[in-house]
Structure 1
Amino acid sequence: MNNDHDSSLPEGPDLRALSAFVDGELPPVERAAIEAQLPQQPQAAARVAAWQAQKAALQALCGASQRNGERSEHSGSVGGIGGIGQSDADEPAFIVVRRPTSWWQRVGLAACWLAAGAGLALALGPLAPRLTGGAWNGLGGQPPSFAERADIAYAVYTPERRHPVEVAASEEEHLINWLSKRLNRPLSVPSLQEYGYSLVGGRLLPGEAGPAAQFMYENPSGARLTLYITGISRDETAFRLFREGNRRTFYWVSDRMGYALSGPIAEGKLRSIAIEVCSALGGKPEAWQ
């Protein structure tokens, strides 16, 4: 082995010389000496290949261009060791990853989208009930608790076959008087016979801030609807739809009473029944049109 080459790697790999070799910081003579010795030093050759691969990957990731000093004066690889001493054109290809967007750019873009979304919601909010046929839950889509309670009560009690209600329809007068007294409000049970549903009966339930009433209806095929009624602190005329699984609940507030009609039937039919129920109970469904 030539002594000139030994000066670069006297008794094995000189890590500083190898690092300078990979970074293209050696004079041509020293670089040539290391290239000549690498085929006889497998460990050093492997280290150089690994460093070159890491460097190429970092350059591809960051979009950095190679410095002029990194270009080899030799176009071929040394001793058949891939990646060592290769020219720019011979270097292995790497997938170029798009440079990450800075955090402040991402925050600014998110703020712009949030502002645009809020402005659109404010602009379309008053029109939403008409555009969606009443199926609008408002900004954020969170229904009031009485609508959720009505849906849960429907899911709990309608599957019951022997005890679906506390007081049967055969005692309708007692049922109405009892629930009216507990809710401290005169109640009535709207008829749904024209839609094919007969009254099964009703029960007393706990509401959000007091008692609630549930009236259950059933058609000849066994499908059931429930009407949930409870006192509520606010008053509004909005008419909205709450969905949960295959169940639908149209709910509204009238004269500080919350009403919710729940069932698994088609939304259009359930909406028609809800309008009829609201009108029968003294509400103003024309405000929903």
Structure 2
Amino acid sequence: MNDNDLGHEREGAASGSPESSPEEDLAMLGAFVDGELPAGERDALQARLADDPRAAARVAAYRAQKAALQALCEGARLPGEDAAPGDAGAASAAPAVLVLRPRVPWWWRAGLAAAWVAVGAGLAVTATMFVPRLAGLAPELVAGSAPGAASRETPEAFARRADIAYAVYSPEQRHPVEVGAADEAHLVAWLSRRLGKPLSVPSLAEYGYTLVGGRLLPGNTGPAAQFMYENDAGERLTLYVGSSAAERDPVRLLRDGNRRTFYWSTERTGYALSGPQTEPKLREIALDVCGALGGKPGQW
């Protein structure tokens, strides 16, 4: 808004109102913003601003400039200086000093970052030199440093892994297995090769379950296998097979919600049979599977 704009604004004023110059209008608006107008003139100008958008915009601009200047001067005031008259609360405000900090060049920041990267790389190299020595003194401090470190998985952790696999894949309708029972010979040969030991699939036909197929899963010490069975009612059982740290473990039971898992180990191979709690013969099935796979549940 320039000085001529205010002259044009006056053209629409009501007849009989005294004409004023642009300079007088600017002075009046400035006095209004600074709170220097008498009460009557201030109220009249306030009423005018409601119908005069240009004058209102000028007042808003003045107020913004005033606020910026006050903020700058407030930051630059030295201790002991008095606040400007009319500034409410300025006398009690704590004096501040405006500090201008030089910008750090980008090349300085980049060089500092590169230096920290170099320090981190040096620490990593130093750590790798000491890790093997620490592993020799305290193998339990370096997980996975020894070939048999991961084989310390507890039987309960093994059963929990089997239970989770059952919970994930048994509800699946379209893709419950990777290889179906129609290709059982390939399934057994493939999983035996991946686990590095001969596997066999026990028959559960006498309990009304037929083989659906199987899949490869990650285990704690390497690959694991899961074989899935299903009965005419749509209930499913899974046999989970993986490596075990124990030569032989007795058949035990893991309960989790509405699922049950019987687990054991034979010749450093862990087995876990999982199914729903609604299967009344699940323990009997587990003992038969254990015996079919080389275990001797009668000795436990």
TM-score computed with the length of structure 1 as normaliser: 0.49
TM-score normalised to structure 2 length = 0.48
User: Which structure would you say has the larger RCO, counting Cα contacts within 8 Å and 6 or more residues apart?
Assistant: 1
